[in-house]
Structures are given as structure tokens and as C-alpha cells.
Structure 1
């Protein structure tokens, strides 16, 4: 399973790249706003750091507006993937952009039917938001299982399942076990994936044993 970093913080992304753990990056207007920086500048810096896709989200509401923005963003770097919402207008834009060879990440997916429509519209990635489903009492992983199964039934559908709204390391484990193609992970969650108390205690014991034989 590929790991994307869900961030617009260039320092976080640089650290993930140094660890060999950034197959791509996803951004959204909220993350860009938090960075307090110019959108184009941030996307350019991120694209220079990673070899994989970098999702840049449109803010227009009509297909024409989304396509216009998407065509502009696609000029910034060959890494850029255009992120559109899963609305009727978003899927129209997806179809038009993908037909021109531009990668599209369809976001804000909350049902398997939506995921099927996005794949039919030519989406490169579908982004189901599992954390937000968990927030309203549903099991977000049930949705991942449904989408993975549906897509596997139809090999002509090339859309990759990109698990989004990841809240904790268990989400990553479950996504991998279900066969998702990608999980996009906040850096804080990625950082937690390193941690286990037995690793720490085991290392401490090895070092003490080594010191005892060196004395």
C-alpha cells in the first residue's frame, strides 16, 4: 500500500521524504490556509520534494470553473493531480480533465455508489473519508471494503482507492488489510506508527547488555 502525506507543511513532507515514506502528498484548502502561504508556491515546493502525485484541490463549484482551475494547476508541475469534489459538477469536471490525460482525485466520498460513479467518470483516485464516517457512528472501513470489492469485480475500472480522513494508526492497518491502494496520512499519525513500548524497552536492554560486556 502506498503512503501519501496529508499535509501542506513543507517541513513535515521533507521529513517524510527523508524517511522514504512519502509516495505522494494530498492537500486541501484547509491545509493550505493553515500554512498561511501562497497556494501555487506551496504546491511548487511540495512537487519539488516528492516524486509521486501531489493533489491540488479546486474551489470552483461549476464544472467549467473546476476545469479552468485544474488546467491551470496542471501547468505548475507534472506531479499535480487535480482534486475535485464528488458532486455532479465535480464528476463532469473529472470526465473532462481525465479525457485530457490529467490525473484526478475525487474527494469527499461517503458511499460505494459514489465511488462507482467516480470510477466511471475516469477518476485516478477515489478518496473515501473514513474518519468522518466514524464520527457519525458508521464504520468507515466497511465503506473501504465495499469499494475495494466493487472495483476488483471490474478490472476495467482503474481507479485507485485512496483512504482519507485517517485519524489513527489502526486506520492504516485496516486499510492495508482490506487491500486499499493508498492511505493518505497526517504526519502526526505517521509519527505514531513508529512507536511501540516493546521496541523502546528492547533497545534499552540491548544497549545495557552491550555496555556490560564492554566494561
Structure 2
């Protein structure tokens, strides 16, 4: 299983990347805005993330026009070989994905809300697909069942599911147990994955015993 961090907040990302447990960073325009950034800040954010240990940085294109999305994708990929270009699962986005894939750009199809979009992402030549678990569920769809259907559809392919919009640790556990390989989590959820009260208490007990015997 591979874990990524879903944020553009450097202060929140730095201590989590320092653990070495997260393979990289995923971003989107909403996360940039929350961090007080814009798409113009993506090159600097990329450089910072790589310097702090991100092995892969997912950067999202903007635009509704195929040619514009393709140009943005090419520019983002030019930043480094660690960039995977994110493109929304719209008609224009999927068309642009196919063109970018044909030129060798690694891609993630994002904002995925139903299992049938896995077929389109595969046809477009993407390497990753990002279903929005929490948002699917909030929209009245069974996010869990949609993602499991994607997994069945993609069993004989190389397209990797990278689940996003995750609200709780239990969702990560359930989907990982069902064979879903990758997740991107916000800093708050990442902290919950890292810290368990019972484990921390046990470690403190071990330390206290060791000090008492020294």
C-alpha cells in the first residue's frame, strides 16, 4: 500500500514528509487556495516538496479547453520527472489525457465519481485514477461500492486506484483490506494514522521501566 499527503500547506506537510512514510504529495486548486497559493506557485511548491522527500508530486491542470489542458500538462511535467499530471474526468480532460499519454506524460485522472469512469481513464492511457470517496458518499452514491467496482474492472490492468476525499481511518482500513493499493490523506487524517493512544502509552511505559532499571 502507498500513502500520499493531500495538501499544499508546507507547515503541515513538512513533519509528515520527514517521517519517510508518505510517498509524495497530491494537490489541486482547492488545496492551493486553502494554503494561500495559486497555480503560479506550483513550481515553487514542487521544488519544496521534492527537497523535503516527496518522491512523486501530483500537480493539477486547469482549463476547459483540450489544447489548454494539454499545454498546462506539458508545462507541469517539464518541472521534473517526479511530476504526475492530474486531469479532471471531464470529456475535455479525458481527451487531453489521451493526447498527453501519447507523448509520454504520466497522468492521474481525478474527480472520479463512478466506476464507469475507470474504463475511460484506462482508455485514455492514465497511470492513476482518483475516486473521491467522501464526495461520492455525500452525493448519495455508495463510494465504497463504486471503488470496489473500479478495483474489479481494473484487475487485469496497470491503472492504479488512488483514493482521495477520505474522512476517517476506518475507510482507509476497509478499502486497503479489500485490496485497494493507494490513498491520499489530509494532514489531520495522516496524524491519526500515525498516532495511537495505546501504542504511545505502551512506549512511555517501556521507557519508564528502562529508566527505573538504569
**TM-score in terms of structure 1 length:** 0.90
Match of 1:128 in 2: 131
Q: 1:46 aligns to what?
A: 49
Q: Which position in structure 2 is the counterpart of 1:206? A: 206
Task: Note the 1:114-125 alignment, pairs <5 A.
Answer: 114-125=117-128
The answer on 1:96 being equivalent to 2:84 is: no
Aligned to 1:84: 87
Cα-to-partner distance string for 1:84-108 (whole Å, 9 max, x where unaligned): 1101111111001011110111001
Q: Are the counterparts in 2 of residues 57 and 84 from structure 1 also a CA contact under 8 Å?
A: yes
Asked if the contact 2:25/2:54 (under 8 Å) is kept, the reply is no
| Aligned-partner Cα distance in 2 for 1:47–1:199 | 31
- SS in structure 2 opposite 1:183? strand
Q: Go from structure 1 to structure 2 and tell me whether the alpha carbon gap of 1:143 and 1:207 turns closer, same or farther (over 3 Å shift).
A: same
Q: 1:47 to 1:63 in 2, by over 3 A?
A: farther
In 1: Cα distance, 2:138 partner to 2:129 partner: 20
**SS class of match (2:48):** helix
Residue 150 of structure 2: aligned partner = 147
- Aligned partner of 2:195 in structure 1 is 195
Paired residues of 1:13 and 1:22 also in contact (CA < 8 A):
no
Coordinate RMSD, CA, aligned:
1.7
Q: CA deviation at 1:134?
A: 2.1
**CA positional deviation for 1:165:** 0.5
**What SS is found at the alignment partner of 1:119?**
helix
Partner Cα separation in structure 2 for residue 33 and residue 60 of structure 1: 16
What 5-or-longer segments of structure 1 have no aligned partner? Answer: none
Count of aligned pairs between the two proteins: 211
Q: Which runs of 5+ in 2 are unaligned?
A: none
Q: Which residue of 2 aligns with 1:179?
A: 179
The 8 Å contact of residues 118 and 153 in structure 2, kept in 1 or not, is answered as: no
Deviation, structure 1 residue 51: 4.7
Alignment correspondent of 2:5: 5
